[in-house]
Structure 1
Amino acid sequence: MRGEPVVGIQPSVMRWARESAGMSVDDVATRLKRQLAEVESWESGDGAPTYPQLERLAYELYKRPLAVFFLPEPPQEVSPRQQFRTLPAEELASLSRDTYLHLRKARAYQAGLEDLYSETNPAPRKIWHHVSLQRNQDVAAQAMNIRRELGIDSPIQAQWGGDDQALKAWRSAIERMGVFVFKDSFKQKTISGFCLRDHEFPLIYINNSTTKTRQIFSLLHELAHILFDVSGISKFDTSYITELPAREQELEVFCNAVAAEVLIPFDEFSRVTAGVPSNVDALDDAYFSRVARYFGVSREAILRRFLDSGRATRDFYESKAREWTDQMVERDGGGGSWYASRGAYLSDTLLREVFARRLRGQLSSERAAEYLGVKPANLPGLEDLVLHRTRN
């Protein structure tokens, strides 16, 4: 009966399902409005949830198929602690349930890509086959190799009409080179994004809950991780870097340097800013905005370049960074189209492939929806969006 404890659930599976969702026992008890001791009994084997409780655990809290709870032991799955070396153990332990679910969703996309493309990346030229980053080599030269592979130079950057166009251009260039890029809004606002390395289907996943310029830097930072052949998860506040072991500290500093050099080549930056004083602390915001627009980056990224070259003081940089961060609120209107948002979140390469195969009758609606992580009823609206992009 539905009100009786479910028979056949292994305590180890219950514990794994909770921990893999980034939840504590207390979190579960609070969400279910049950006593802490009752939830603990499910994981000790002294008790078991009822069928309705198990359904809530599976579908609402842990986001798992119901069948997984009847496995004899927890399935093999890579944990964030095993996969990511770029956050301290304490930071990894503090990842929210929402972030855990984004990581799981990204792995599902990666597995879907492998299945959809029969384990072979469709890109004619894969950037990680031609650029392999090394910390003991010149950053500027390696960044130039990345720009060359992506087909982006300073004249092209100068033609972009704004942050949105710049983000789309960088993202499109990276996807053309075989790296799949996804976005989503994170509830854990401190996370800027992460990447999952793979020899055929590397994936970048960016937090959409911030400005376009911040997303661009995150995109290039995670690309550097992939080209270094390391999965990474990153935060906006870089103070966590000092808590990492020496090797990981060097890696994060290196990836930041590569991202900055790809976005703002130092030689070009020196040329553009040659006419200003040796110390820029007295310059107004309008100047930093003009240079930022030229490179398609944030004002903070430009000021950081001045700081690194000894042309701004640390106090001025930190003061302005705080001021500009407070100003940078994403203005999305709050009532946009679900289809437009979902279309922006999903990899464009994946979207086009799924709907091309669906139009050719090679994919059912159910299978197409599985690859995209949406309900079958949402496919027509997404299909209209993709066809509109293709026509334009």
Structure 2
Amino acid sequence: MTRETVVGIQPAVMRWARESIGMSVGDVAARMKRQTADIEAWERGDSAPTYAQLESLAYDLYKRPLAVFFLPAPPKEASPKQEFRTLPDEDIASLSRDTYLHLRRARAYQLGLEELYEGTNPARSKIWQELKLNLGDNLPSQAHRIRAALGINADVQASWSRDEEALRAWREAIEKSGIFVFKDSFKQEGISGFCLRDDEFPLIYINNSTTKTRQIFSLLHELAHVLFDMNGISKFDTSYIADLPQRAREVEVFCNAVAAEVLIPSATFERLTQGGPYNIDGQPDTFFSNLARTFGVSREAVLRRFLDRGRATKIFYETKALEWTQQKKEGAGGGSWYASKGSYLSDRLLRDVFSRHLRGQLSQEKAADFLGVKASQIPGLEELVLRRKSQ
């Protein structure tokens, strides 16, 4: 019985399910241990999978409910190519299955936020409604307005002693302004992060598989996208920007410039470096480390500022950036699953879900739905949240 093929599957839905997660026919064939011709036949309707094979496709590969395969036509769902104009078509086509799953998870979080807060963002001040970026306006002035809106000035920034503290502070400030921030480890390491715009629940999602200082830059880059009122998906290697259409290229360059100016305001940078040598090639690492600590950024970000001003050569910048990246690669570590998950989830979402759960307004199962975890994992996350509150 289990070897009989399933009746009623629409070939178009089979093809859509595969394409919507960025897999090729060859990818599916390899994972299913089938011939490519078998997968192609399923998608043409010349044959069909067995029930066991359909379950494997639905639950293991495509991460879709089984019922979706019996729909008369593919459901309407925006593709990355339609949603994101900040990557060239070639880069969009090369997004991995893991990245597609992160994008889908982010959309699920957005729907959950809308349900949890009954369609109204709980933030008192919504930065994306009060502050809009414009390519033609003065860059330092716009960056200053962002810092003011987030409540982060030079004294606050200089008080951070560790990269982790700086990341936490930027993230908390952005969440306080109404934008929900999530993190996760991407298997496609070249992706730095993405954002999803929304009138009430904009969301930023950054790659945790890199240094904290790079995560901070990605966070502010995606914030700039939100303030442009557009979805964005970005890579660490910025060479892709040259292949974008002119408007998209200008926006990406500007978002990078905004992030850099927010992190390291030009006026402060000039004041702190004006007494030093004009060309800083060959300066010891401590020279860059001291400046980096002042702004709570990476040494590479500081060196990039010198490069942009013509005070460092490109060869020196690239050599030191590679050296520092190799030094600062952070291992996966052996921390608890609950601590990792707690750092990945939006802190505001986590606190509000457990506040309602503890008051009996959300069941354990419903709390798990909002957080995208299993119901059995709720007690462990609850303990984490309560421990944070007591500290």
Give the structure-2-normalised TM-score.
Answer: 0.99
State the partner residue of 1:207.
207
How big is each residue's C-alpha offset from its partner over 1:269-316, in whole Å with a ceiling of 9 and x where there is no partner? 111222211111121111101111111111111001011112111221
Q: Partner letter of residue 362 of structure 1? A: Q
Deviations 1:25-61 (CA, angstroms, capped at 9, x unpaired): 1101100101111111110001111111111111110
Instruction: Tell me the equivalent position of 1:178.
Output: 178
Question: Aligned equivalents of 1:2 and 1:386: distance in 2?
Answer: 45
Which segment is superposed worse, 271-280 or 111-120? Answer: 271-280
CA distance in 1, matches of 2:126, 2:375: 32
Tell me the matched-pair count: 391
Q: Deviations over 1:109-138 (max 9, x none)?
A: 001101111111010110012110000000
Query: d(CA) in 2 for partners of 1:70 and 1:356?
Result: 39
Q: Which moved more, 1:216-225 or 1:64-73?
A: 64-73
Q: 2:28 maps to which residue? A: 28
Give the secondary-structure state (helix, strand or coil) at the position aligned to 2:307. helix
Give 2:34's aligned amino acid: R
SS of residue in 2 equivalent to 1:201: coil
Instruction: Please tell me whether residue 85 in structure 1 is matched to residue 85 in structure 2.
Output: yes
Q: Deviations over 1:354-374 (max 9, x none)?
A: 111111111111111111010
Residue 134 of structure 1 corresponds to 134
Aligned to 2:379: 380
CA distance in 2, matches of 1:23, 1:118: 35
Tell me what 2:322 maps to.
322
Find the counterpart in structure 2 of residue 342 from structure 1. Answer: 341
Name the aligned partner's letter for residue 154 of structure 1.
A
Q: Secondary structure at the match of 2:356?
A: helix
SS at match of 2:250: helix
1:221-240 alignment runs, 5 A limit:
221-240=221-240
Alignment partner, residue 94 of structure 1: 94
> 5+ unaligned residues in a row in structure 1: which ranges?
none
1:267 aligns with 2:267: yes
Structure 1 outlier segments of 4+, above 4 Å: none
Tell me the amino acid that sits aligned with residue 249 of structure 1. Answer: R
| Residue 308 of structure 1: aligned partner | 308
Look up the match of 2:195. Answer: 195
Secondary structure at 1:34 match in 2: coil
Write the mapping of 1:31-180 to structure 2, written as runs, cut at 5 A: 31-180=31-180
Deviations 1:173-197 (A, max 9, x none): 0000000000000000000000001
Q: Tell me, in whole angstroms, the C-alpha distance in 1 between the residues paired with 2:152 and 2:382.
A: 30
**RMSD between aligned alpha carbons?**
0.8
What is the one-letter code of the residue matched to 1:24? Answer: S
Partner SS, residue 43 of structure 1 = helix
Bigger drift between 322-331 and 212-221 goes to: 322-331
The Cα shift of 1:332 comes to 4.1
Q: Which amino acid aligns with 2:298?
A: S
What secondary structure sits across from 2:181 in the alignment?
strand
Letter in 2 for 1:369: A
Measure, in 2, the Cα distance between the counterparts of 1:354 and 1:47: 46
Hey, what does 2:6 align to over in structure 1? 6
- Structure 1 distance, partners of 2:82, 2:142, is 28
In structure 1, what is the Cα distance between the partners aligned to 2:107 and 2:328?
30
CA distance in 2, matches of 1:243, 1:326: 28
Partner residue in 2 for 1:365: 364
Matched residue SS, 1:26:
helix
Rounded to whole Å, the distance in 2 between the matches of 1:355 and 1:141 is 39
The gaps in structure 2 that reach 5 residues or longer are none
C-alpha separation between the residues in 2 aligned to 1:67 and 1:357? 32
Higher mean C-alpha displacement, 314-323 vs 363-372? 314-323
- 2:204 aligns to what SS in structure 1? strand
Deviation at 1:317, TM superposition (A): 1.1
Q: TM-score, normalised by structure 1?
A: 0.99
Instruction: State the alpha-carbon separation in 2 of the partners of residues 73 and 363 from structure 1.
Output: 35
Distance 1:388 1:78 in 2: 40
Distance (Å, rounded) in 2 between the aligned partners of 1:122 and 1:70? 39
Provide the secondary structure at the position in 2 that maps to 1:281.
coil
> Percent identity over the alignment?
69
How many angstroms apart in 2 are the aligned matches of 1:260 and 1:12? 45
